[in-house]
Structure 1
Amino acid sequence: MYTNCHSYYSLRYGTFSEVELLKLAKENGVTTLALTDINNTSACLNFVRQSQAFNIKPVIGIDFRNGAKQLYVGLAGTNLGFQELNSFLSGYEHSKMELPELAPVLKDTYFIYPLERVMQLEKEEFQDNEFIGVSVAELKKLPFSNYKSYTNKLVIQQQVTIRNKRDFNAHRLLRAIDNNTLLSKLQKTEECGEHDVMLSENDLRNLYTEYPHIISNTEKLLDSCHINFAFGKDRVSQNQSIYLNSKEEDYQFLVKLCNDNLHKRYSKPDAKVKTRLETELKTIRQMDFVSYFLINYDIVSYSKSKGYVHVGRGSGANSIVAYIIGITDVDPIELDLYFERFINPFRASPPDFDIDFSWKEREDVTNYIFKRFKNVSLLATYNTFKYRAVVRELGKVFGLPKEEIDKLSADKHGQNKLDDISQLVLKYGDLIKGFPNHLSVHSCGVLILDKPIHYYSATNLPPKGFPTVQFDMIIAEDVGVFKFDILGQRGLAKIKDTIDIVKYNRPELPSIDITQVEKFKNDPNINALLKQGKAIGAYYVESPAMRGLMQKLQTQDYIGLVAASSIIRPGVSGSGMKKEFIIRQRYPEKRKEANPILLEIMPETYGIMVYQEDVLKVANKFAGLDLGEADVLRRGMSGKFRSRAEFTAVEEKFINNCKARGYPDALTFEVWNQIKSFAGYAFAKGHSASYAVESYQSLYLKCYFPLEFMVAVLNNGGGFYSPEHYIHEARMCGGIIEAPCINKSEHANTISGKTIYLGFGYLKSLEMLTIKRLLTERQFNGRFKSLDDFIDRVPISIEQLTILIRIDAFRFTKQPKTELLWQAIFKLNAHKAKTTQSKLFKPKHKQFNLPSLKTTWVEDAYDQMELLGFPLCNYFDLVSDTFYNHIKAKTMNLYVNKIVLLYGVLVNTRFHKGSNGKRMRFCTFVDQEGNYFDTVHFYNVVEKYPINGLGVYACCGKISEEFGFCSVDIQWTKKLSLLPDPRAET
């Protein structure tokens, strides 16, 4: 009997979830219920799915409003009616126009105008599908209204937005946040009514007993609405099912692609390869995933036609078909990849293909997908209210001063000292946290469907300009909508840019073939970089944690890197199995200590679960679950379905099966806890292998073209470390680093021989317009000959010119910076007037006789720190403190368990919360020789000796060693003083 109900997807209006709405309906004896969120359909699919569990008939629609002003409620009579409502709303969402005052003429839909609204419109004629909604509050007005005679058009429209007084208070706070106003100034027209609550079915009927026709009209209306979506086991794929003209034609095309490309991957394919290929093709056909493979192939083919570099990863990287037709570059035969992780007869969803492109090229690939295929959309995600953020918003709404808001949001307050308002802020902050705040775009999900996108959802049009549905990936998969993952990353851009830079800087060299991964894997020089932890700049292997792990594992081959890529993940590490893996890797005799059953299941990883496939293997072979049940475990532990009953049932079966097989409880729960601790974080083996392939491509370039590679790294935003550290690494590779120069620098960094010129983009205060003018003038009319020549040719203000002079961009003139600054002031005027265009006739410049003005290297360093953010000299040269007797990083292994002193420049620092809830700190430094050392700051010293920004630190502590990797357990640190800024002394 309820035709107008809101969930909290009526953003910053509703106060509870769609599931809580169903619970409320169940408690009140309601058997048919309409969800009609305001200009939003995010919750509709899940509402339909969840309604089955409550034995409630779902009706879905949209509450169409301009702001808070309700126009009409649209109800979907059928799935096609839902599509029509979505299309109508989307048109206005995309154009950012207000909705029309009158409902459109649509088939398979019903529209309900509130009584108050039709009275304002003085609407007299109604279509067959149009009704007048009368709320409980409006019953008093009905006898005095002309519309009481419209007996066949009147229906119940009791809005449901809140449940109680607390919800109403939260609703008003959300409305104040939405309107960016104080609660005391919130207009009544922006709020729902205090009585917009759900009554029991009987109570609602009793209120309308004088108008039995209203009750019967409402029942008839709701009875005529029928929505059908299949979920879970009953779902069927909604993705585009045919790539060419028929399924048979698709399959024959896929077979042809495999036959045509087989010998490119396997020069002499043996029986194992042929059998695997035949099995996969048969399974792909049976599972109806042929078009899914062909669409991914199409996307990758477009990328290759444009000269783009891509990486195919995810569980799909376990597929030999994907490898042969070029979606991935991971050989599943070489790595013995578990086929059932990729696809099995129990798995209804297609395999995951995460396809990475350069961050510069991803948008073009996405644009191609939207043009190439018919029913395409991006997937949504929900940005929710975070506790601290909502406390700040509520503080503003209540009019609290900024200082008080800061204390509340930082949780720096005494609960007993809070006044009533502050307590309300915290109380409602706790209630509202987790509510959806606004819709956003999923990081990589693209939908390509058989039916129109609006069959499932309305769409928004975010700034990127691609239509985006209003639901997320969890409900998408539930209803059979499976995303294509199109990602952008900087690692691939670094590879492509390095190749281009090498062509420019070393044209005499032959072209680089970056696809020769097999050659790279067997190159001892490349593998030495891994083993020694010298992979700075290389994708996925440069972080301090990965650098240390590879040194502990002594990683020196592709297989080892594949394993390292997965055991570095939180799950494996957190379960304690990372350390155990290192032990069994380094000391083969320890492998005998593994449980023999697990060792037989996972011989390659010494009986330790390292990959997602291992969950399937162990659940299937150790606990006797079928592959479908095993896959439920894997998905459930990813966090998507953790609360589902199906997951709980499989968990129980796992434990019961182990008991039936006679395993001791200790072993059963040890294995179960391993699965539980890491399954949601571990990679599929093919996923790790794909990362490793890209890592080897980066390492090849780092090994043989280190300077060009470091320039590409810097030009693509760096990576794990700061730009300053990559500049240090370039210097360690033999590079000569030059500050920006007006005649040789570009916006990005450039290289000439071994000299790297930093780009103008590093000068934070230099305006983009100034850079464009400078580069354009130089490109068309040649290099600048002097300061006077520059001033004549480039319109520039004295402030902008000062930046260029201070960074020594005019050093080719051989004149001191101080002298150039005075000359600039005299010639450009000191009244800060900006010249907007170059001079038609060059003026004759006066030459001023200035006293000898010298600049010291220390002053240059401080100018660089101010303008670039870092000095170009060595930090150690700037230290004014005395250096005491100390050791160097390369000799740490000689001082294990001894207390030593090291000096280092801070490279990276990060916190970690231990099992006791206290914070630890991990730092990475480089010493005077440029070598790394890592420090651990335990709970007792982390606050006492803080690390405050970049600089040189004295680090005193005990050297600890684990598997040949040394670090310093800090006892105390001190940041050393630098030479004073000479400019501050004058």
Structure 2
Amino acid sequence: MYLNCHTFYSLRFGTIPIKTLVETAAGLGIKRLALTDINNTSAVFDFVKECRKNDIEPVVGVEFRNGDDMMYVCLAKNPDGFSEINSFRNQYHKAQKPFPLTAPDFKNVHVIYPLEALKRMPAHTSSDKKSKTIGIQVHEISQLYKYNHDDFVVLQPVTFLDKQGFNLHRLLRAIDNNCLLSKLPRYSQARNDEMLFAPEQLRETFAAYPHIIENTEKLLNECHFDFDFSTSKNRLNYLDSRESDLLMLKQLTMTGLVKRYGKDNQEALERVSRELKIIDELNYSAYFLITWDIVEYGKGKGFYHVGRGSGANSIVAYCIGITDVDPIELDFYFERFINPGRTSPPDFDIDFSWDNRDEIIQYIFEKFGREHVCLLATHVTFKDRSAYRELGKVFGLPEHEIESLVQNLRAEPGNEYAQLVLKYGKLMDDFPNYLSIHAGGILISEKPLNHFTALVQMPKGFPVCEFDMYVCEDIGFAKFDILSQRGLGHIKESIDIIRENRQIEVDVHAIQDFKNDPNIREQMRRHETMGCFYIESPAMRQLIWKLGCDDYLTLVAASSIIRPGVASSGMMQAFILRHHHPEKVQYIHPKMEELLKETYGVMVYQEDVIKVAHHFSGLTLAESDILRRAMSGKYRSRIEFEKIVDRYFENCKTLGYDDYTAKEVWRQIESFAGYSFSKAHSASYAVESYQSLFLKTYYPLEFMVAVINNFGGFYKTEFYVHEARRQGARIELPDINQSNYLTSIQGITIWLGFIHLKGLEKNVAKQIIEQRKTRKFHSFDDFCRRVPVGLEQLIILVRIGAFRNLGYTKKELMWESHLKVNHRYLIPAGNELFETQEVHYELPELLHDPLEDAYDELELLGFIMQNPFNLIYKKPEISFHANNLQRAVGRHIEIIGYLVTLKSTRTRKGEKMFFGYFTDEYGEFFDTVHFPKSCEMYPFKGWGLYHMKGMVTEEFGHCGIQVTWMEKLAIWADPRID
């Protein structure tokens, strides 16, 4: 009798979590239940699993709505019916058209129309009316006398479970309508009786119409959704058969083996044979070949990639070119790649440059068919403060009151509305809000995707499914992760710029040479890493410094121990100390020395969790992998996880470990596992870091131009420009005769691109560059005749000095600009047949203050070209600089610093503190620490220059300043303002 149940995946409408709905139904003795979320199938597979646990027969479908109007409810008679429903939805989603008044003639779908729908349907013959199933709600029984109700069924919606749920529903509807709760239209909300009535209550309500109850039960009994969760849903074969796939994979691997290891490497051959055997047994050949195909397409287009994830532990992946990290050289733990406990193929995270990724995705859709390919979804939820903010708006609270409330959630609410916000905010926590796109997941299915989901069109035109990574894995999909990153863009563009500027072809894949290059080692030792992938942040630079890192293996470890879990557990500090004094390491247990000797007894990588759980505590590999995944947030069964935790301690007791040892090892597992990398993942990152280091060591100016042009680095553009200057570049502002849209380099001169000018339209920059192809601009008048530009755009170019090499001053050009525009002097661009006589006017002497340039640059570029220390109004007489820190350890000093970046964190007591990163007057960098008391007394006040006092501290060779006093320095006033 339950044909129309909503979960909270009826977005901003339903209020019932899937598990709660099913368990409540089971408690009422309901044996068959239909899920029909509004225009959505996200809950289907979790619903089916929960129903099976609770001995309920699941029925699945969709309630179709146009806005607030229910059109019809569609229930799948079988899996083919579910496919039909999804295909129907796809058709109208893609066309962005409303659903029709009547559903199509489905073969395997029951369609139920609400009573209200009869009024809006076109006129029908009596026989037509009989052919339609009409649903009747409890409150509509009094209207039955008007109709022939032979084909009527009970269509009582379930949207909430109680009065509180109804209130929550109304709040969600107000959020969806972006209106005050008091202004919520009646037609946008459900009736207050849309609850899960007990079967006896519904039977009693419809006692006068037993045939309606019979019709309902008959219809439900005709619906079955048998779904096999255990089989793979991925594309089964790359070629025409499993045997052909294995043969192709073997051929590719053996060819690659010779290239990677030579002909006679017995160890590599044995590992390859072992892997291929397991890959065949688990039928993963197609998964490897599809990944290989994607990578090969990218290589053919000249795209760079990085292959990482647990799949990077595979020697087969290394041989066929998916990854570039050698599992033998790095002694990768085979069981992290694959083990009997894994139910899905290993993860391959394939990174491409941010500007190539869309083309790769387009290729995947074309290669494997749009009916079989989609992006994976994720649900953005009402989490943390977002729910409270939305509810505050719904209740009409002022903005400042909402902010005060969300920043002080533990404080006593000030009024009844604040109390309601807190009450319902907690109820909404983790409710799905809207569908979004997973960072990189792509599904490639064997059957057409409509057997599993409807597809939602996203802005770039790539469709996305309606379930997330957890459901994806539950139902038998293994996603392909195609990701983008800026670091590869830096590398790719550097090579192009080097070729153009120096006529040199660079090979960035000679990683073995880079590892042994003394100049690259020195670059790392001096922590000169700004712009280099993953190792440029102040925290990573400090870590490299403290480790004395100048080799690949140490960098691999550093890439993982910088992660929050390792650092916050104290194990990062322990690793640094043990790295410098390995002879003093005391292992907590001999078994831990055996397992973690390479990392001095510190768990650094994800596979360390598997190693320790399996070999130390005796958990099976399956249990160990579940433990690792649960801690990384990729496993949902909390009950199963808790069982494994119990088993860990039971096993430790059986194996004779004392309580302290067992608890301390567990603390280490628990504290960092959720944030660590696999070793292969860290190694892949380190390869890319080495490529960046090579480019920065030998081609620093071209490399910095590439970093500037790709944006998205750790620092603002200003500091990459600063770094280029440190490396010997001559930096020039945008110029009409020299600059391109992006930043460019000629010799050692870097011309900033027009892209950096705030407010300058892209079309204007294109016109300038296009006109310059014919001939360069020889005067301001010439420019104005050839480039059709309005006054506002022209003044931007004047203020930045883009005409400075034509012999004009800015003040003169400001007069000229207004004159030409006001006299309609500008004409459409074009090459004139004859030179036109230029008109000049005598102007009085116009005074110019160099500070005006600085303020123009600050407004238009976001930074100034001259040394920012020149702007200090009253500069303190301080001679201490960053290069003196090493000689001043333990002393109190004064220094002036220009703020580069700031990182906030909290102490264990929850107090706020900061880590600062500054440059001194000579452009050298230094680090500061601002403890809570210092932060409170001497707070940061945004961008600018700071006078600081503090004590110089030293840790493993790295010096910093523990700030005890600070003030922001005033700068010269803007001379353009009277």
TM range (shorter): over 0.9
Asked whether the 8 Å contact 2:785–2:828 carries over to 1, the reply is no
- Equivalence for 1:354: 349
| Alignment coverage as a number of residue pairs | 973
Task: Determine whether 1:160 maps to 2:155.
Answer: no
- Equivalence for 1:672: 666
**SS in structure 1 at match of 2:342:** coil
Task: Determine whether 1:493 maps to 2:489.
Answer: yes
Alpha-carbon distance change, 828 to 416 in structure 1, aligned in 2, over 3 angstroms: closer
Alpha-carbon distance change, 94 to 834 in structure 1, aligned in 2, over 3 angstroms: farther
How far apart in 1 are the matches of 2:183 and 2:940?
A: 46
- Equivalence for 2:283: 288
Alpha-carbon distance change, 415 to 665 in structure 1, aligned in 2, over 3 angstroms: closer
Q: What is the deviation of 1:334?
A: 0.4
Deviates more, 1:583-592 or 1:930-939: 583-592
Structure 1: which amino acid aligns with 2:142? K
Q: What is the deviation of 1:778?
A: 1.4
**SS in structure 1 at match of 2:380:** strand
Task: Determine whether 1:709 maps to 2:703.
Answer: yes
- Equivalence for 2:852: 859
Asked whether the 8 Å contact 2:159–2:194 carries over to 1, the reply is yes
1:570-591, Cα deviation, whole Å (9 max, x unpaired)? 1111221111111111112222
Structure 2: which amino acid aligns with 1:435? F
Task: Determine whether 1:259 maps to 2:257.
Answer: no
Alpha-carbon distance change, 114 to 827 in structure 1, aligned in 2, over 3 angstroms: closer
Structure 2: which amino acid aligns with 1:891? N
- Equivalence for 2:178: 180
Deviates more, 1:971-980 or 1:586-595: 586-595
> Could you tell me which of 937, 942, 954 is aligned with 1:944?
937
Q: What is the deviation of 1:131?
A: 2.1
Q: Quote the sequence identity (%).
A: 49
TM-align CA RMSD: 1.9
Q: What is the deviation of 1:407?
A: 4.1
Query: Which structure 2 residues correspond to residues 754-903 of structure 1 after superposition, within 5 A?
Result: 754-779=748-773, 781-829=774-822, 844-903=837-896
Deviates more, 1:178-187 or 1:34-43: 178-187
**SS in structure 1 at match of 2:874:** coil
How far apart in 1 are the matches of 2:889 and 2:242?
A: 66
- Equivalence for 2:243: 248
Deviates more, 1:736-745 or 1:967-976: 967-976
- Equivalence for 1:915: 908
Q: What is the deviation of 1:409?
A: 4.6
Structure 2: which amino acid aligns with 1:489? Q
Asked whether the 8 Å contact 2:591–2:616 carries over to 1, the reply is yes
**SS in structure 2 at match of 1:796:** coil
How far apart in 1 are the matches of 2:566 and 2:393?
A: 43
How far apart in 1 are the matches of 2:438 and 2:708?
A: 27
Structure 2: which amino acid aligns with 1:733? Q
Asked whether the 8 Å contact 1:63–1:73 carries over to 2, the reply is yes
- Equivalence for 1:344: 339
Q: What is the deviation of 1:730?
A: 0.3
How far apart in 2 are the matches of 1:450 and 1:392?
A: 43
Q: What is the deviation of 1:884?
A: 2.9
Q: What is the deviation of 1:674?
A: 1.1
**SS in structure 1 at match of 2:927:** strand
Structure 1: which amino acid aligns with 2:693? L
Task: Determine whether 1:367 maps to 2:362.
Answer: yes
- Equivalence for 1:320: 315
- Equivalence for 1:36: 36
**SS in structure 2 at match of 1:654:** helix
How far apart in 2 are the matches of 1:182 and 1:279?
A: 64
Asked whether the 8 Å contact 2:453–2:466 carries over to 1, the reply is yes
Asked whether the 8 Å contact 2:613–2:648 carries over to 1, the reply is yes
Structure 2: which amino acid aligns with 1:550? I
Task: Determine whether 1:628 maps to 2:622.
Answer: yes
Alpha-carbon distance change, 417 to 625 in structure 1, aligned in 2, over 3 angstroms: closer
**SS in structure 2 at match of 1:73:** strand
Alpha-carbon distance change, 414 to 323 in structure 1, aligned in 2, over 3 angstroms: closer
**SS in structure 1 at match of 2:498:** helix
- Equivalence for 1:532: 526
Query: Which structure 2 residues correspond to residues 643-792 of structure 1 after superposition, within 5 A?
Result: 643-779=637-773, 781-792=774-785
Q: What is the deviation of 1:802?
A: 1.3
How far apart in 2 are the matches of 1:260 and 1:623?
A: 41
Structure 2: which amino acid aligns with 1:147? N
How far apart in 1 are the matches of 2:950 and 2:287?
A: 57
1:334-375, Cα deviation, whole Å (9 max, x unpaired)? 000011100112211100000000100000000000000031
1:620-677, Cα deviation, whole Å (9 max, x unpaired)? 1101111111111111111232543221111111111110000011111111121111
Q: What is the deviation of 1:309?
A: 0.4
Task: Determine whether 1:211 maps to 2:213.
Answer: no
How far apart in 2 are the matches of 1:287 and 1:329?
A: 24
How far apart in 1 are the matches of 2:891 and 2:127?
A: 92
How far apart in 2 are the matches of 1:435 and 1:646?
A: 24
1:856-882, Cα deviation, whole Å (9 max, x unpaired)? 322211211111111001111222223
Asked whether the 8 Å contact 1:110–1:130 carries over to 2, the reply is no
Q: What is the deviation of 1:836?
A: 5.8
Deviates more, 1:376-385 or 1:217-226: 217-226
Alpha-carbon distance change, 863 to 521 in structure 1, aligned in 2, over 3 angstroms: same
Structure 2: which amino acid aligns with 1:182? L
Structure 1: which amino acid aligns with 2:95? S
Structure 2: which amino acid aligns with 1:146? Y
Deviates more, 1:278-287 or 1:937-946: 937-946
**SS in structure 1 at match of 2:916:** strand
Alpha-carbon distance change, 270 to 414 in structure 1, aligned in 2, over 3 angstroms: closer
Deviates more, 1:963-972 or 1:165-174: 165-174
Please report the TM-score for the alignment, with normalisation by the length of structure 2: 0.97
Structure 2: which amino acid aligns with 1:264? K
**SS in structure 2 at match of 1:982:** coil
Structure 1: which amino acid aligns with 2:377? A
Alpha-carbon distance change, 784 to 423 in structure 1, aligned in 2, over 3 angstroms: same
- Equivalence for 2:73: 73
How far apart in 1 are the matches of 2:868 and 2:952?
A: 24
Task: Determine whether 1:476 maps to 2:472.
Answer: yes
Alpha-carbon distance change, 24 to 900 in structure 1, aligned in 2, over 3 angstroms: same
How far apart in 1 are the matches of 2:396 and 2:620?
A: 59
- Equivalence for 1:377: 374
Asked whether the 8 Å contact 2:12–2:173 carries over to 1, the reply is yes
1:939-963, Cα deviation, whole Å (9 max, x unpaired)? 1011321222222211211111111
> Could you tell me which of 392, 395, 399 is aligned with 1:398?
395
Structure 1: which amino acid aligns with 2:709? N
Q: What is the deviation of 1:886?
A: 4.3
Structure 1: which amino acid aligns with 2:80? L
Deviates more, 1:811-820 or 1:513-522: 811-820
The unaligned stretches of length 5 or more in structure 1 are: none
- Equivalence for 1:926: 919
Structure 2: which amino acid aligns with 1:431? L
How far apart in 2 are the matches of 1:839 and 1:263?
A: 61
> Could you tell me which of 547, 551, 575 is aligned with 1:553?
547
How far apart in 2 are the matches of 1:474 and 1:656?
A: 29
How far apart in 1 are the matches of 2:639 and 2:400?
A: 47
Alpha-carbon distance change, 673 to 130 in structure 1, aligned in 2, over 3 angstroms: farther
**SS in structure 1 at match of 2:450:** helix
How far apart in 2 are the matches of 1:140 and 1:55?
A: 35
How far apart in 2 are the matches of 1:744 and 1:897?
A: 50
- Equivalence for 2:566: 572
Deviates more, 1:264-273 or 1:317-326: 264-273
How far apart in 1 are the matches of 2:462 and 2:951?
A: 56
- Equivalence for 1:112: 112
Q: What is the deviation of 1:521?
A: 0.9
Structure 2: which amino acid aligns with 1:7? T
How far apart in 1 are the matches of 2:646 and 2:384?
A: 35
- Equivalence for 1:3: 3
Alpha-carbon distance change, 592 to 211 in structure 1, aligned in 2, over 3 angstroms: same
How far apart in 1 are the matches of 2:418 and 2:666?
A: 45
How far apart in 2 are the matches of 1:657 and 1:437?
A: 43
- Equivalence for 1:441: 437
Q: What is the deviation of 1:408?
A: 4.0
